[in-house]
Amino acid sequence: MALEDAKTQVDTAFTRKERRGLAYENAFGGAVSFLRRQYTKDLTGVDLAVTGVPFDQAVTHRTGTRFGPRAIREASTLQPYDPPYGWGYDPLGEMTVVDYGDVAFDYAKTADFPATLHAHAAGILAAGAGTLTLGGDHYITLPILQAHYEKFGPMRVIQFDAHSDLWADDDLSRIDHGTMMYKAVKQGFVDPRHSVQIGIRTECDDYLGMNVIDAPAVHQMGPAAVAARVREIIGDGPCYLTFDIDALDPAFAPGTGTPVWGGLASWQAAAILRGLAGIRLTGGDVVEVSPPYDTTGATAIAGAHVAMEILCLYGWTRRATTR
Taking the domain 2-322, which CATH number applies?
Answer: 3.40.800.10
Q: What pLDDT does 278 receive?
A: 96
Strands (E), 121-192: 130-135, 156-160
Q: Is the pLDDT of residue 3 over 70?
A: no
Whole-angstrom Cα distance, residue 177 to residue 165?
7
Strands 156-160, 211-213: pairing kind: unpaired
Cα radius of gyration rounded to whole Å, the chain: 18
Percent pLDDT > 90 in the chain is 95
pTM of the model: 0.96
Domain parsing of the chain, residue ranges: 2-322
Percent pLDDT > 70 in the chain is 97
Residues ≥6 apart with Cβ < 8 Å to 28:
77
Whole-angstrom Cα distance, residue 207 to residue 210?
5
Q: Which residues pair with 239 in a beta bridge?
A: 156, 281
Q: Which helix (H) or strand (E) holds 149?
A: helix 141-152
Report H helices in 212-265: 215-221, 223-234
Q: What pLDDT does 319 receive?
A: 87
Q: What pLDDT does 322 receive?
A: 41
